Structure formats: C-alpha cells, structure tokens
Amino acid sequence: MNAPALNATVPALGAPRRARKLSTLERTLDSGLRVLVVRKPGVPLVEVRLRVPFLSARAAHAAKAALLSDSILTGTDNFDRADLAAAVQTLGGDIGFGVDADRLQLSGNVLATNLRRYLDVVADVLTAATYPGKEVVAERERLVERLTIARSRAGVVAAESLAKRMWGDHPYALDLPETDDVQAVTAAQVRRLHRDLIRPEEAVLVIVGDVSAPRTADLVAKALDGWTGAPAANRIPPLPPIDAAPLLLVDRPGSVQSSLRLGASALRRDDERYPALQLANLIFGGYFSSRWTENIREDKGYTYGPHSGIDHHALGSFLQMQADVATEVTGPALLETVYEMGRIASLPPTTDEVESARQYAIGTLALSTATQSGLASTLAALTGVGLGPDWLAEHPRRLAKVTLDEIAAAAAEFFAPTRFATVVVGDAASVRGPLAALTPVE
C-alpha cells in the first residue's frame, strides 16, 4: 500500500517536564510497624499494601502459608465471612491477601472518605481472624483444585522446574506448595502460623492516595494500636549457588509449543552496578525493541513474545528469561537465544541501543509510578528489600549516568550463557534430538 508522505520527519522530543515531588511521610509506630504514606490525588481512592515478612524454612511452610492466605478473610471475632466481605464492599473497597516465599501481602483499596472504617476492618482481620474449621477445610479443597489447574499450565510447570533447578531444597524452590502438604494442613496450624508471623514489628504498611499524609498516619496509629508483637524467631537458610548445566527437559506429551526458561543470579537494586545491568537486560530482551524480540519474533516468527527480566527477592535478585516457541523450532529458538546471550556478553552494545534503553527505563519508571496502585505496589516491593521512596526518586539520575562501558561490563559478567540454569517443557519425543544437538540434555 503506497500513499503520499505527509510529514516525512519524525518530530523531535520537547523539553521534559519534571514530575511533582511526592509528599511522603514515614513513621514507625510503637508496635514497630513502619508506616509509609504518600499523598497522591487523582481518583478519590486510597491504595493500601501491608507487607509482612513470611520467609520460613519450616516443614510444609508454603502449604500452611497458602492456606492461611486463602482463609484469613473467612471470619473474625466480630464478623462472619459474608459480613466481612459486605462491610468492605459497603465502603467501596476491596481487600485481598497473597503470599510468596518472601512475604504475605494485604492489597486493597477503598474510597478515600472511608479509609478510617476500612482500617478498622483491616485491624479486625489482623488481630481477630478466627479461621473457622469448616471454612479452612473448604478452602483447603479449593486450594488443591486450584493447584491442579495451575499445574496443568505449561508455564507453571516450567517456572516450578526452573525454581527447583536453581534453588534445590531452599524455600525459594517451592513457587507453589505441594498438594500433599496442603492436604495435611489443619486449622490449628494455620492459626498458629498467624500468631507466629502476622506481627507488626518487621512489617510495612504503605498507603497511597487522595489523603492527607499526617492525618492518615494518625488514623493508622489509632486503628492498629491493638496489633502488637514481634514475629517468632526463624532461621533463614542462605541460597545455594545456582547449578547451571545440563538443560532439563520436562516432557509434556503432545505440547504444540515448548516453554523455554532460563535463570541465573543478578544484582540487587542497591548494588552500584545495578543500573548498568538493568539497561543490559533491556537491550538483550527486556522490552520490545530488544535484540531477542527483534530476532525470534519480528524476524523469525518463532514466538509471540520472549521476555527477560530481573526478579527481586528478599535474599537476592535473578535474571529470568522466558519464551514459548513452536515445537518444531525449539532447537533453532534455543540456538538464537544462546547466540544473543553470547553476543551481548562478548561485544559492547551500540550508543543507540544504550540511549533507547536508558530513555525507556526512565520513562516507564515514571509511568508505572504515576498511578496510585502502581506507586503503592512499587513502594511495597522496595520496602521488602530495605529500600524506599528515596531510591525511587534517585533512580532516574543513576540511569542517566550509566556509561556504555559499564553496561558492557555488566553484560559480560551476567549474560554469559554458561551461568544459566535452563529448562524446556515440551513434547520430549519431538524436541529432545534438536536440543541435544546444541547442549547436553537431562
């Protein structure tokens, strides 16, 4: 299709306008709870995140934690399950709990005018959740069903297989709890876990929205004054070193695609080399204009969307790569992936690549924290690794200063293909041969 060109030159960028400085208040309550409030008008809502450390090496901890998270809202001393949900709905609110190896997190939101009454409900759940036996048993059955559904997905099997390969028997290896462990959990165990770990002393509460920060901090102090104590002592085992080779092939007979996953250690956000690694990752496969995407999607059509990213956990940060590729091109897709990893580890990127990644990192950080929910989630995640609003405010300046040489050095160290644990979930009869031609396969 051809048509006359109108404005043949792409417009230059104007002068960037700086974001307004956030009005932030941080206070530690007598209970030890850290409270972080950010005034952010926009829509008439408030976002709430409460992050409670939940890492534990105790037997069947993941199973107990998942069942706790699924049944914490099934009743309190003052409300039954439906009344509790109705109370939150009446306030124009939402409340939910999620858990991973690092933390239990309450995520919610409410009409700003109803924040005080919402915090009363939160306090009730934290201090007076009852875990009624019948509800816990019913939630246990549902959790088993949901785990069965989750594990029928190739991507979930691949993530679990990679986690086990990377972390062996460390708690991080259990992305989802084992079904057998879940079936053995009792309501009494869940109540004990709540008493042991849902304590304010190492927890962080983040509130972002159309509120006055000082008044909100006072509201929190008053609403949560009955929530006290320190979590039970807990030994956290260190992470094992990641065992790279050989490639682990997990059979999923008849699979029309292969799920390719790679993982290796990376740098934490507070490492001075982190901004360089962040940009190296973007150039490799962290955004659409990356080498990996342009190669295996836009040039070769092997996949809908490859992606690489840096995941941050309490005990460390990790490079993770994923692509779901057609079964018949599984070998070629791995070949191109390893080629692109080797290329960025061996040769410096171009200035254009660096500037594009830099602007993207700075711009999307601003976009992702321009909403109440985005900012609340980002701050909650940062507090989990000991960082806060200052890190967020300073990060664009750090990205602006990274040099091409620093990016090349970070890429050389962290993208070397030999460092990575690799998992492929697919039709083994079809893909074993093509994969084995490239690398040892287990």
Q: Which of residues 57-86 bind other proteins (CB under 8 A)?
A: 73-74, 78-79, 81-86
Task: Kindly tell me which residue out of 123, 136, 219, 428 binds other proteins, with binding defined by CB under 8 A.
Answer: 123
> CB of residue 328 vs other proteins: minimum separation in angstroms?
11
For residue 246, say if its preceding peptide bond is cis, omega within 30 degrees of 0.
yes
111 binds other proteins (CB under 8 A): yes
CA dihedral sign of residues 334, 336, 342, 348: negative
Task: Kindly tell me which residue out of 23, 57, 145, 271 binds other proteins, with binding defined by CB under 8 A.
Answer: 145
Which residues 378-397 are close enough to bind other proteins by CB under 8 A? none
Cβ nearer to other proteins, comparing 85 with 245 = 85
CA dihedral sign of residues 380, 322, 338, 294: negative
Cβ nearer to other proteins, comparing 31 with 359 = 359
Which residues 237-276 are close enough to bind other proteins by CB under 8 A? 254-257
Cβ nearer to other proteins, comparing 58 with 81 = 81
Q: How many residues bind other proteins (CB under 8 A)?
A: 99
Cβ nearer to other proteins, comparing 102 with 340 = 340
56 binds other proteins (CB under 8 A): no
- List strands edge to edge, sheet with 307-313: 248-251, 421-426, 257-265, 316-326, 307-313
Task: Kindly tell me which residue out of 55, 110, 158, 204 binds other proteins, with binding defined by CB under 8 A.
Answer: 110
**Considering only CA atoms, which of 13, 17, 24 is closest in space to residue 393?**
24
> CB of residue 373 vs other proteins: minimum separation in angstroms?
7
Task: Kindly tell me which residue out of 100, 124, 340, 406 binds other proteins, with binding defined by CB under 8 A.
Answer: 124
Task: Kindly tell me which residue out of 50, 325, 379, 385 binds other proteins, with binding defined by CB under 8 A.
Answer: 325
Residue with tokens 């290796």: 264
Question: What is the contact mask toward other proteins in residues 4 to 33, using x (rule: CB under 8 A)?
Answer: xxxxxxxxxxxxxxxxx-------------
100 binds other proteins (CB under 8 A): no
The one-character DSSP state at 348 is P
The radius of gyration of the chain from alpha carbons, rounded to an integer in Å, stands at 24
> CB of residue 81 vs other proteins: minimum separation in angstroms?
5
Specify the amino acid at residue 332: P
133 binds other proteins (CB under 8 A): no
Task: Kindly tell me which residue out of 97, 172, 274, 302 binds other proteins, with binding defined by CB under 8 A.
Answer: 302
CA dihedral sign of residues 176, 181, 186, 191: negative
Task: Kindly tell me which residue out of 180, 218, 298, 442 binds other proteins, with binding defined by CB under 8 A.
Answer: 298
324 binds other proteins (CB under 8 A): yes
Cβ nearer to other proteins, comparing 92 with 309 = 92
Task: Kindly tell me which residue out of 234, 371, 430, 439 binds other proteins, with binding defined by CB under 8 A.
Answer: 371
Q: Which stretch binds other proteins (CB under 8 A): 52-60, 139-147, 166-174, 430-438?
A: 139-147
Task: Kindly tell me which residue out of 37, 52, 87, 136 binds other proteins, with binding defined by CB under 8 A.
Answer: 87
CA distances to 56, 284, 339 from 295, rounded to whole Å, are 41, 10, 10
Cβ nearer to other proteins, comparing 357 with 385 = 357
d(CA 174, CA 195): 23
The one-character DSSP state at 76 is B
3-state class of 129 per DSSP? strand
The one-character DSSP state at 296 is I
Cβ nearer to other proteins, comparing 56 with 278 = 278
233 binds other proteins (CB under 8 A): no
Task: Kindly tell me which residue out of 28, 183, 346, 364 binds other proteins, with binding defined by CB under 8 A.
Answer: 364
Helix-helix angle 187-197:133-150, to 10 degrees: 90
Q: Which stretch binds other proteins (CB under 8 A): 116-124, 187-195, 382-390, 434-442?
A: 116-124
d(CA 291, CA 297): 10
Strand bridging mode 307-313 / 316-326: antiparallel
Task: Kindly tell me which residue out of 28, 133, 141, 311 binds other proteins, with binding defined by CB under 8 A.
Answer: 141
- HSE-up of 264 (CA within 13 Å, CB side)? 19
**Considering only CA atoms, which of 381, 361, 264, 243 is closest in space to residue 320?**
264
Cβ nearer to other proteins, comparing 110 with 319 = 110
Which residues 169-198 are close enough to bind other proteins by CB under 8 A? none
Tally the residues of the chain: 442
Helix-helix angle 372-384:389-401, to 10 degrees: 90
372 binds other proteins (CB under 8 A): yes
Q: How wide is the angle at C-alpha 384 spanned by C-alphas 383 and 388, nearest 5°? A: 15
Contacts of 19 (CB under 8 A, 6+ apart): 366, 370
Specify the amino acid at residue 382: L
3-state class of 188 per DSSP? helix
Task: Kindly tell me which residue out of 64, 66, 71, 93 binds other proteins, with binding defined by CB under 8 A.
Answer: 93
